[in-house]
Structure 1
């Protein structure tokens, strides 16, 4: 039995040298790289390039005029401010939800865990209808958020909450509880343990979740289309302004504002990448 076991690797190695067995390298080769590049070009790069070209059809001056128009600036301002507020709100509530799902046991926990992903599957226009029925003019709760920035925040918080929860939850699962127990045995309070031990570990994932939530919120349309009210300068966000420009046949203006949103999202994601990389290097050094 032992002879058979010991001879198997040697025979396999011999057959591999003779060319009978393929060598596993984990790479896809030039063909795989070419297919992946072609697919990304068709799905991502070509549409973005077409959008960029459309945004400068009237020259750079036309691009600047379209982006700096009063209503465009107002829509961008509302979009960025509301999205930032939603990101901060979800940092707090999303981290709390992730903590409860990981550290606490309660009836219906599995159902709640599944419920977190509902915004990913639910059509956002359905969310807008539900929110309008709950917080609109005929609200059964007596809370009227229709055509207010509060309504925008509630709608965007609904669709972006999973980004923070799902970013923080896996890190919480991997945290070594023995370190917390050791700190507690030495007299550290729960607040001190969270601030000095847990929070530094969670911070890269919290920042990542907040950035993803912000990037998602600045381009959101479906969930706010009904409850937002689309009031220029107050509740009109950039996605609604873009639709408005398309409806009045101002394609170049719509493309210019779209490129601006893409630039904001790209900068956000780039900063996330830098923060995530530094966080990983710091954790490796601590180990």
Structure 2
């Protein structure tokens, strides 16, 4: 599932061809909205909210401009694991996948946005957006980011493992598994450490905001400050390789509750705290020879 900074960049690409433009083509290839008529409406904006995308359309009027004014609409989409938005210039061949995988087509005079394999495609009144994003916690890349509220939500369940708490979008909106693992490393604790054992959650929330802000305009989710290939992460996806700081081999296990569990990565020397269930703690100080 994409991180919030990835969704932020997708929104920017969509905004470049859609925002302020009148839709010349609009297809929602999902049963619930297959008959929706959106062509002729102007796109007001494309807004990321955590990992959700909200494409807002202006209200319309009756035929010939007569009749009552229609309310503004929002196209709500979510990428989850397999979804993708591709943007094509006018006349450019679509290359994002077979036609059978297309779920949304939005075209303007500037280009065409095509949504492939989108698991969530929902058309609703803009006034009802809270129904689909109202449960989210403070958005790490939103204009209303609220660190104190994020910390309050994290502290509400002190016994919860930190890795799970960070992935819960009701606490902070925008953290995926890459950042959840890297933030645990930067905090010096394993992903199974109870939230209540961290004395400085405010610092952790500030670091999360700092990382997503730094990466919102570049790919890679860089957490080490090193953009060179293979050096952007401290522990994520580095199982069996030496920790970049101490040389201890990075371990991996699942964390979270199935089917929402995700792979966890941690350094048993740099990170204190409990090991995953069923595995005893690795002794600190055991290092590889580099």
Identify the structure with bigger relative contact order (alpha carbons < 8 Å, sequence gap 6+).
1
- Of structures 1 and 2, the larger Rg is shown by 1
TM-score with structure 1 setting the length: 0.23
TM-score using structure 2 length: 0.23
> Per residue, is there more strand in 1 or in 2?
2
Comparing both structures, which one devotes a greater share of its residues to helix? 1
